[in-house]
Structure 1
Amino acid sequence: MEYKFIKGKLLKASIRILETYDLPMFDFTLNKNDEVLFTNLSSEEESPVRMLSSGGINIVLDPKPMRLLALHVNKENELICGLREAGPPFPIHDFSVRQIAIFDIDYRRKVTLESDIKGRKLFSYPSCIRTDSKNVMYIVDSENSDWIGKLLAVARTGCVKFSYKGPPSLEEVRPKAVSITPKDNIILMDSINNALHVLNTKGILLALQFLDELDIENAITICIDYEGFLLIGCAGHNTENGKIHVVKIAEHFML
């Protein structure tokens, strides 16, 4: 399987390719200087955080012996990482180590979250992290090898503000990605139901959009661009190419 990292500019009906890199990226994020921080596939023996900039590619952080699961840079330009111990990710045991770690702009660890004040583990497999305007973290947390899980809202203190596992009408959710609107509404992509869940900061469901109704299939990731459009990345069928759908978000979720 080939892996490429593509830098491009979205046009009305196409993408202008600016740069292409043959890099097996597992996750990436941008810092305030628009430099790309990324990690390679976790199956590789060496998978530190690297920076892609005009000066080339450099290692900026190596969390050994932990393995990286997710990367995110918040509004303070801090790097937030999802981490786990080496070895198989599932099943999860009492001795499993699953953490969220926050690093300053010099990549020195500032905060490590693993357990609550009662010693209960906070995370199972924190695979996607985003933050809102108040630096509350929204974390996609998978609980088993079927990637069934929940969305956690966690303060920097480790206080869990809410845990969302979907509405009663759905048996279970398979959260894959999360994005935050300028109004701090949360959009969660759920692959098992091919749906978008829109929540407020209290974890209350505001809207549920099934993507089948929009003729969108195989959604695997989402983000909001600088113009406020929701970009939905979809995998291709067999030899077909993947797609990026550009969707307008209802104004009352944005303003």
Structure 2
Amino acid sequence: MKTQEALHGELTEPDDDYAQEQYGVEVIEQYKTGLKLVEQLICSDDGTLWIGNIAGKILQKIQLSNGLLNIVQEVQVNCAGMAFLPSGDLLISTAESNLKTLCHTTGNIIQSKNSVAPLISGAVHVTQDLKIIVGARKEGPVFQVDGPRQVVVMDIDGKTEQVYDLDNNGKPIFSAPQRITSDNDNNIYVLDCLNKDWSGRIVALDKTNGVRWIYSGHPDINKEQTIKPKDLVATKSDNIIVTDSNHHMIHILNTSGQCIHYLNTKDQLGIHCPYSLNIDNTGTLYIGCSRYINEPAIAKIYTVEVSGF
């Protein structure tokens, strides 16, 4: 599967010369996958990636090298979330109570000791201080919201240490946690969807049981469209990158919840429908996409060099 031409662009806002100089993006390469949607994407320290599509119950280990995408391994599994463990094994949520572990040496999937029973698991993330963060909810449709919607913090052995559920007023914090990330200080950020049209927000949690801030979109953008976030990832400088596939948008937030920049990837970078995100150990940003209207049912992955955030 061959890469296409490299694309170049700048993160810009109208009449903001300082911002144009401060934030930059350069699309290095693009790769065609065999998936209709790169819904999940995670980078390994050895340079390989795992990508997944929930609807197709496909999980692939891939290598991007010399302009080619090579499938190293393919697994048939319902992957609602995944994260690497310190061992190199892949921790997988299959939308059941118990998480699974895909062993990197044998390729076998086994039961994990991490569980959110009696709820079922969704998003999964491992922080730098080796806490396992899991989104959890009652089994059934994502909407209407029925029963608890939680973000559970566990130690590496599966012991629950903290549960984010209700705010200080006793009201639920989340509607439907879909993705989770953390920064260098192990602060947790949750992508929470609100309703059936997948409008959503980013919720930053504090170290106790509360909420630090909520980002519901930039006011300039909100005049025309409601943010429908799909994924988020923290950069090495502790900014949070958020994709909005429906509107071809990327939002960059600081740790105070301010949108320090945004861009339309379709107009400015030629990237349609940015969906999943991850950053490798060199700082390269990987963007997995959905296919665009009238395009072939082949989703793309872009490798991107970023600066300023």
Is the counterpart of residue 206 in structure 1 residue 260 in structure 2? yes
TM-score of the aligned structures, taking structure 2 as reference length: 0.75
For residues 151-204 of structure 1, the C-alpha deviation after alignment (integer angstroms, 9 at most, x for no partner) is 011123122111001111223100110011111011011123211100110011
2:101 aligned partner:
51
Q: Is the 8 A contact 1:103 1:111 kept in 2?
A: yes
2:277 pairs, out of 222, 234, 240, with: 222
2:143 aligned partner:
90
| Alignment partners' CA distance in 2, 1:209 and 1:230 | 15
2:41 aligned partner:
none
1:157 aligned partner:
208
Aligned CA-pair RMSD: 1.7
Cα distance change of structure 1 residues 33 and 153 upon mapping to structure 2, 3 Å threshold: same
Matches within 5 A, 1:121-200: 121-171=172-222, 172-200=226-254
| Alignment partners' CA distance in 2, 1:12 and 1:197 | 30
| Alignment partners' CA distance in 2, 1:106 and 1:178 | 26
Cα distance change of structure 1 residues 47 and 117 upon mapping to structure 2, 3 Å threshold: closer
Counterpart of 2:233 in structure 1: which amino acid? S
Counterpart of 1:142 in structure 2: which amino acid? C
| Alignment partners' CA distance in 1, 2:118 and 2:141 | 14
2:303 aligned partner:
246
1:19 aligned partner:
73
Q: Is the 8 A contact 2:244 2:273 kept in 1?
A: no
2:60 aligned partner:
6
Deviation at 1:57, TM superposition (A): 1.6
| Alignment partners' CA distance in 2, 1:12 and 1:123 | 43
Counterpart of 1:57 in structure 2: which amino acid? I
Count, aligned residues: 246
Counterpart of 2:115 in structure 1: which amino acid? D
1:63 aligned partner:
116
Q: Is the 8 A contact 2:247 2:273 kept in 1?
A: no
Matches within 5 A, 1:62-81: 62-81=115-134
| Alignment partners' CA distance in 2, 1:205 and 1:239 | 33
Give the secondary-structure state (helix, strand or coil) at the position aligned to 1:65: coil
| Alignment partners' CA distance in 2, 1:6 and 1:14 | 15
| Alignment partners' CA distance in 2, 1:178 and 1:209 | 15
* Unmatched segments (≥5 aa) in structure 2: 1-54
Counterpart of 2:300 in structure 1: which amino acid? K
Counterpart of 2:299 in structure 1: which amino acid? G
Give the secondary-structure state (helix, strand or coil) at the position aligned to 2:256: coil
Cα distance change of structure 1 residues 2 and 192 upon mapping to structure 2, 3 Å threshold: closer
| Alignment partners' CA distance in 2, 1:47 and 1:218 | 31
Deviation at 1:87, TM superposition (A): 2.2
User: Once the two structures are aligned, what percentage of the paired residues are identical?
Assistant: 28
| Alignment partners' CA distance in 2, 1:239 and 1:47 | 36
Give the secondary-structure state (helix, strand or coil) at the position aligned to 1:169: helix
Give the secondary-structure state (helix, strand or coil) at the position aligned to 2:220: coil
| Alignment partners' CA distance in 1, 2:175 and 2:186 | 21
| Alignment partners' CA distance in 2, 1:86 and 1:205 | 34
2:150 aligned partner:
99
* Unmatched segments (≥5 aa) in structure 1: none
Deviation at 1:247, TM superposition (A): 1.2
| Alignment partners' CA distance in 2, 1:228 and 1:175 | 22
Q: Is the 8 A contact 1:135 1:155 kept in 2?
A: no
| Alignment partners' CA distance in 1, 2:191 and 2:111 | 26
| Alignment partners' CA distance in 2, 1:145 and 1:132 | 29
Deviation at 1:47, TM superposition (A): 5.7
2:290 pairs, out of 224, 235, 241, with: 235
Counterpart of 2:207 in structure 1: which amino acid? R
| Alignment partners' CA distance in 2, 1:161 and 1:36 | 30
